[in-house]
Structure 1
Amino acid sequence: MSTISNISGIRPTLGNSQLADRYDFIVCGAGSAGCALAGRLAENPSVSVLLIEAGGTDDVPEVLTPGQWPLNLGSERDWQFVAQPNAHLNQRAIPLNMGKVLGGSSSINVMVWARGHQNDWDHFAQEADDEAWGYRSVLEIYRRIEDWQGAPDAIRRGVGGPVHVDTARSPQPVAMAMVQAAESLGIPAFDSPNGSMMEGRGGVALNDLIVKAGLRSSMFRSYILPRMDQPNLTVLVHTQVTRLVFNGTTVVGVEVMQGSHRTQIMADREVILSMGAINTPKVLMQSGIGPETELRPHGIPVIQHLPGVGRNHQDHVSFGCIFESKQPLAVGNGGSEATLYWKTDPSLDTPDVFHCQLEFPVATPETAHRGVPEHGWMVFAGLAHPKSRGSLHLTGSDAHHPVRIEANTLSHPDDVRSAMATIEIAREMARAPAFSHLLKREAMPGDLSAAEMESYIRDSAVTFWHQACTAKMGHDSMSVVNGRLQVYGVDRLRIADASIMPNVPSGNTMAPCVVIGERAAEIIKQAHGI
């Protein structure tokens, strides 16, 4: 990997490019969407692209070695966001981890490649009023993205793309048991959780992963690292975007900060925010784009009143079901090798149940007293489409002022009822014959009364770290961007990250974010004739 060097004073860049005062395009955030977008824009050698990342190098064992991903949580490679204490979680304040490193969350996550359900994308198209966001169009984007290593599927899978995707190789017995157990409950098994499985009611499968030759293959390593020697691509690290620079209502650049040093870099064509569902709305609001009621108390001049900025916060929520094994269990491929999506009611548009198996047990601080077995596994029994909605709020006008995150997890009563259903499916699977050679006992939740189970749900609820939807795409009064990802009322500014999702998709958000980055590149190339 290219080394980090200090050039132009204190401003470090990667590769051989020297930092300039202006670029054609500035992409803010080197996460899943930002890397895809910047990499595609840089394909044209006549276009200058600056990619800005607040974090640093991904060239550390904790990132590259699949089994070490938990060590990134709470480290300098994590923004370490925490939601506010929540009455619906027995006043718990739950962590909302997000990647602060080259590759963003694709460098610290569990490496699961999940495309979302067909109807997720058709809903995107409906909200955007543009069939280019629909499943059939997005399917072509996925085929362009992937270098698929699993069973051939010429209709749904692509080869030769930048992202190495493979099925979990040599899966552990506990992962195979989950597939077999789900089948015994009438849930069909598939070769992959992507493709035909997510065009119908759902099913169970071994995970698709971004693991190549035993190492994580993040979106930085897929899209940006191969282009690091190009003179038209500059990657600026350890640099936080603090606000947008305007000429009237036109964005002409960004202000960036390293330590106490601030400077401005100009964009001759466009600025694209790809900083994620917390930092993108924060920069918007601190730049004067957002709800007037949020901006004026902090003395921020209103450039564009957009009441939807920082609203509609969504995230997948799950509940730990922990099982003690009869013997120690090996951990393979980062520890998450099997997954399940299912519509408990066939009439639903998308799956309501979302399970991710983990090959080691992890309790929350509030449930640990129940006893975590030395050897065992767990199922994150989750909700694919929770109804609870949260919001983000400024605590000040400057970059060092944190955002107050009111996640409101489990605030909708239907989510608690759905939690009981998804937990019961996980418990039924563990009691299936497929697990008889592994299961010693159910450690959590166990047989509880209705009241005890509700308390367990509120104590065990954790996020999947899939924060989204805080600057949503659409045409109603709460929409922030249109179908071409342009911010309403502001020129030369687009958003391309999970914040533009109208609703959180069925499953992990990394792959849909790559689609958003690719789609943004398509739109921008067309708009500028490049």
Structure 2
Amino acid sequence: MSQRTGFEHDYLVVGAGSAGSVIARRLLDAGHSVHVVEAGSADDDERVHNPQGWPLLLQSPLDWALMTVPQRHANNRSLYWPRGKVLGGSSSLNGMIYVRGHRSDYDAWAYAGCPGWDWDSVLPLFKRSEDHVDGESAWHGKGGPLPVSRITEPHPTAAAFVEAALALGHEHIEDFNGERMTGVGFNHATIRDGRRMSAWQSFVAPVLGNPALTVTTGAHVHRVLMEGGRAVGVEYAADGAVHRAYASAEVVLSGGVIGSAQTLLLSGIGPAQHLREVGVEVTVDLPGVGENLHDHLLVSNVYEASRPLPPGKANLLESQLFASTDARRPGPDLQPLFLHLVYPAESYPVPEHGYTIAPGIVRPLSRGTLRLASADPRKAPLLDPNVLSERYDLEALVDAVELCREIGGQAAFDAWRKAEVAPGPEARTRDDLRAYVRRAVGTYHHQVGTCRMGQDSLAVVDPELRVHGVEGLRVADASIMPSVPSGNTNAPSIMVGEKASDLILAAS
């Protein structure tokens, strides 16, 4: 074995986001030493902790602020992808909505070759994380690290959204994480006592005094260190120098859908031809790394308000609707979200006072790729989600726009609505709306899939999250998801962390 320099712990967790924070906590609780290596900074910006501060974090120093390559099915526009560059990862930037997805999402994972990931297997993991304001029930947990609250004083326009959807015949849902998901209601949120409860604040901040924990921030991982086919550590840049950190048991990549795949590729683990093209020496020819990139898509149905809106008391994202383009589906495929602020549609006017109904799809069929731009780890990867490449995605998003316009035109909004700004009254036909979607489509910020788990030739990790062809290396974050759950991805990513910690501890 070669001589090592630097610190050594039982486990090395790369990335302090939604999954990595959970893994670090569970391994510490089990008596192991853990080194968390995070590229971002400490979460000491007050805007992180204010539930209404998230719009100010977008394109701030706490945001990777990535851009896709031009999207040929979306008027060759490059899409902005915010990703958290801070302790807590994107759970420190997101809208704090706590939604798990539909049971059929997870049953589909299991059916496709990932036993142990079916709904009945993962529901206890969701519940284990929770400290739900309602207490323990068949659907929720009590006493876990993650506080989950209800919207108790909804904004009047968020309430109008619910009222408008009910007037159109949609079912009222008290809890999107309960027995039924399809319908309209108010969100549950990762907020407690008026403060954002990120994965880091919930799982790791309470145990920062544990002497078995080391946290290194501002550490940009370049590659995984290998010895005899086994991962033994990582090389990272920090403070203008290159360092190495080692783990005696396992290395766990939790850098997210972009960071984990990029790290594997820079380590020579990925499609051999691509690695050779960019000048990276091939360690393991693993063709699925960077494949299967996909995301929830949305646009903004923007309204100018007749008067200034009062301030809200929660997360600016208080109500939403889950609906389906076909009642025969086992779960929803549309997720219109209400925002009591203007979330601009690209290239459309931005009114001074307004609100947004965001038509969104949650079961996209389009798939794309993540590739290295070069062998330089400082260069952002090439992100090509290939949005709207499947006709279903375009048509479902147009369906969602039509649904949102129906809601926005209801009497419940008469006291607030001055005019529709996007897509605007000139958009009358379905072809007009298709053009609007291509012109304005954006993201729900729910990217997944680049290190997909499975047992086929394009799987990157097995159902135990072990990287195929490498000993001592796992990936645990949204990148392992074969398909994106039909809802916000923060809660599912936390569940992946819970599942990963069980798998790691079972092997220790």
Which of the five TM-score ranges fits, normalised by the shorter chain? Answer: over 0.9
Counterparts of residues 125-204 of structure 1 (less than 5 Å): 125-130=110-115, 132-150=116-134, 154-198=137-181, 202-204=182-184
Counterparts of residues 106-117 of structure 1 (less than 5 Å): 106-117=91-102
Alpha-carbon offset, residue 279 of structure 1: 1.2
Counterparts of residues 166-315 of structure 1 (less than 5 Å): 166-198=149-181, 202-315=182-295
The equivalent position to 1:31 in structure 2, one of 9, 17, 23, is 17
Partner of 1:105: 90
Alpha-carbon offset, residue 453 of structure 1: 2.0
8 Å CA contact 2:136, 2:142 repeated in 1: no
Give me the whole-angstrom Cα distance separating, in 1, the residues matched to 2:454 and 2:438: 33
Give the letter for the 2:444 counterpart.
F
Give me the whole-angstrom Cα distance separating, in 1, the residues matched to 2:146 and 2:113: 26
8 Å CA contact 1:367, 1:459 repeated in 2: no
Partner of 2:390: 412
Greater CA deviation, 250-259 or 282-291?
Answer: 250-259
Give me the whole-angstrom Cα distance separating, in 2, the residues matched to 1:74 and 1:279: 18
Give me the whole-angstrom Cα distance separating, in 2, the residues matched to 1:265 and 1:52: 9
Give me the whole-angstrom Cα distance separating, in 2, the residues matched to 1:423 and 1:65: 31
Partner of 1:82: 67
Partner of 1:344: 325
CA deviation map 1:352-401 (0-9, x unaligned): 11111111112234223xxx322221011001111111111112113112
Let me know the Cα RMSD of the aligned residues: 1.5
Change (3 A) 1:103 1:384: same
Give me the whole-angstrom Cα distance separating, in 2, the residues matched to 1:68 and 1:315: 24
8 Å CA contact 2:183, 2:323 repeated in 1: yes
Count of aligned positions: 501
Partner of 1:316: 296
In the alignment, is residue 483 of structure 1 matched against residue 459 of structure 2? no
Structure 2: give runs of 5+ residues left out of the alignment: none
Identity %: 38
Greater CA deviation, 267-276 or 445-454?
Answer: 445-454
Counterparts of residues 386-425 of structure 1 (less than 5 Å): 386-425=364-403
Partner of 1:462: 442
The equivalent position to 1:60 in structure 2, one of 36, 45, 58, is 45
3-state secondary structure, aligned to 2:166: helix
Using the size of structure 1 for normalisation, the TM-score is 0.92
Alpha-carbon offset, residue 153 of structure 1: 6.2
3-state secondary structure, aligned to 1:243: strand
3-state secondary structure, aligned to 1:333: coil
Alpha-carbon offset, residue 169 of structure 1: 2.2
Partner of 2:313: 332
Give me the whole-angstrom Cα distance separating, in 2, the residues matched to 1:27 and 1:72: 25
Give me the whole-angstrom Cα distance separating, in 1, the residues matched to 2:61 and 2:375: 24
Partner of 1:123: 108
Query: Runs of 4+ in structure 1 displaced over 4 angstroms?
Result: none
3-state secondary structure, aligned to 1:334: coil
Partner of 1:432: 410
8 Å CA contact 1:127, 1:473 repeated in 2: no
Give me the whole-angstrom Cα distance separating, in 1, the residues matched to 2:392 and 2:379: 34
Give me the whole-angstrom Cα distance separating, in 2, the residues matched to 1:444 and 1:295: 43
8 Å CA contact 1:323, 1:444 repeated in 2: yes
